[in-house]
Amino acid sequence: MRGYSEDYFSSRRMFNWGDEWHMSFAGCGFRSIYYVGALSCILERVPRLVCGASTFGGASSGCLVAAALAVGIPIEKLCFMILITAKEARKHILGVFHPRFSLLRVVQRSLLDMLPEDAHLRATGRLCVSLTQLSNGRNVLVSEFASRDELVQVLTCSCFFPIYCGFIPPSYRGVLYMDGALSNNMPLFEHRNTITLAPFSGESDICPTEGTFNFFEAHYSNVSIQVNTGNVHRVCTSFLPPRLEKLAEICHNGYMDALRFLKKQVSAQTYH
């Protein structure tokens, strides 16, 4: 497998191997499979970019990806979790809106199966989860976890989208929270050495490029999203469980977008 020169990487004005760096994942529902593809590409070609990151941040479904990286869960398990969740939702005629289906319950069960007993110790200081207070809409960033159960609570709170995930919001330390993407969809965005990822075309470091006409660019919760037909489709389908073939396509797109990002940073002679 061909790799990239870290020496050339360090010459980037926006990235410095000498400083600590971070990775941040925007919330995107079922399109989080995009991150599996992107991470697969990076781990194949510049593994240190992931393995050496100081902090992983995320909101909503993005925080599940960040948690997997912070705790040390292989991306294969993360991929399996996303596929199982989509499969469970597709069993019902109304999908996630079927009264017998609870997306939050499936996520909780998957986290309990996937997270090791010391997950909270591994995650403390390395994971930054974005939450939105239900009472006032204020953003809260959590990076310390007293127990594995508390870690699961925080991740669940960040994934709770009102009505879509139900009507009873989850709580963390006695406070009700909802989807972190509603107030800050890209935690750690303000740090210079943060690599941002989003499956929507915009200004994130790793994201799709759009060949269609862009009406304008919207900035929402620290994420820049181009307003175009492609993104309208992406946002809408984030809430719907895609078929296996579509998930595979999204995953492949993530791989290719990450590859394009890496190629922008290096010259042809750095291949080996």
Is residue 60 among the annotated active site residues?
A: yes
Distance CA 24, CA 34 (A): 14
| Strands 139-142, 127-133: pairing kind | antiparallel
Is residue 61 among the annotated active site residues?
A: no
Look at residues 257, 253, 245, 195 and name the one whose alpha carbon lies nearest to residue 26: 195
Catalytic residue among 24, 40, 60, 130: 60
Catalytic residue among 24, 179, 224, 257: 179
Handedness of CA 126, 130, 135, 137 (dihedral sign): positive
Non-local CB neighbours of 61 within 8 Å, separated by 6+ positions: 27, 28, 29, 30, 31, 32, 159
Non-local CB neighbours of 38 within 8 Å, separated by 6+ positions: 197, 206, 254, 255, 257, 258
Active site residues: 60, 179
